Amino acid sequence: MPRRYLQASKMRDKNEKNQVDIFKSVKSEAITELTPEILETSLDLITESEVLKDIPIFGIGFKGYSLYQKITESFFTKKLLKFLFELKDIELTHREKFINELESRKETNKAGEKLLITLNRLNDDEKATFIGRLFKKTIIGKLEYNDFIRLTHIIDNAYIEDLKLLENNYHLGRIDDDVKSNLHQIGLIKQSISDIKREKQMQIRIGGKGEDIQPKLIYSINEIGSKFIEFGFN
């Protein structure tokens, strides 16, 4: 075998061996023995550690990854269960029919995969409850699928406490302007500028001079926001 091919073969074998070692390190039982103290130990002492003798040195860096993965998997499971819980009262045949029809449409190809990705990305498990309620309304025909997708995107980008303030709150009462601005940015409410001429007339009508009236931002719920309030809380 020519020398260059022999070297290439050895390099591939070395890369494959290193790859297997890294994966074994990530999945190793020995990772559970790692402690913050070990991670803070200098490299020369780490290589002498009895706890780590069977773990490749690069495996140490994956201790945090292994813990992170366990946490995120647990968090994802909780979000998935909260989403599915909202659908449990829908008859199985109804759910199956809806999903079959959904998957048969070209424009909603891989809809389930996209939904799972969104659920996995959510930063609060209560958002999964909102999405579950909205999906339930979509299955039973009260909410259009396109509106569901749009609301899912909005929920993903929202601050959960801002969303909670909208419950039965079509007139946006008891919500300060900073929160209203946030809700406007994600697409749940609309923004307009006050009518100065009208406000002057109203002030004069009640005995004022109609002076020093400055324009201000006016917020009101929009169509998609109304659907969120109607279907997202029950």
Cα dist from 142 to 136, 147, 162, 217, whole Å: 9, 10, 24, 33
56 and 152 both lie in a single domain: no
Which amino acid appears at position 74 of this protein?
A: S
Across the range 27-55, mean pLDDT stands at 51
pLDDT band at 133 (very low <50, low <70, confident <90, very high): very high
**Where in the sequence is the domain holding 22, given as residue range(s)?**
3-70
133 and 217 both lie in a single domain: yes
- pLDDT of amino acid 62: 41
User: For residue 120, is pLDDT > 60?
Assistant: yes
Across the range 18-38, mean pLDDT stands at 44
116 and 206 both lie in a single domain: yes
Q: Let me know if residue 79 belongs to a domain.
A: no
Q: How many domains does the chain have?
A: 2
66 and 92 both lie in a single domain: no
pLDDT, the chain, mean: 75
Q: Let me know if residue 196 belongs to a domain.
A: yes
90 and 178 both lie in a single domain: yes
Give the residue carrying structure tokens 């002076």: 211
Burial bucket for residue 119 (CB in 10 Å: 0-12, 13-18, 19+): buried
- pLDDT of amino acid 192: 92
Please say which residue of 23, 39, 70 terminates a domain.
70
Please say which residue of 25, 40, 70 terminates a domain.
70
pLDDT tens-digit series, residues 190-215: 999 877 777 767 777 777 776 777 78
pTM: 0.68
55 and 105 both lie in a single domain: no
Between 113 and 150, residue with greater pLDDT: 150
100 and 37 both lie in a single domain: no
24 and 117 both lie in a single domain: no
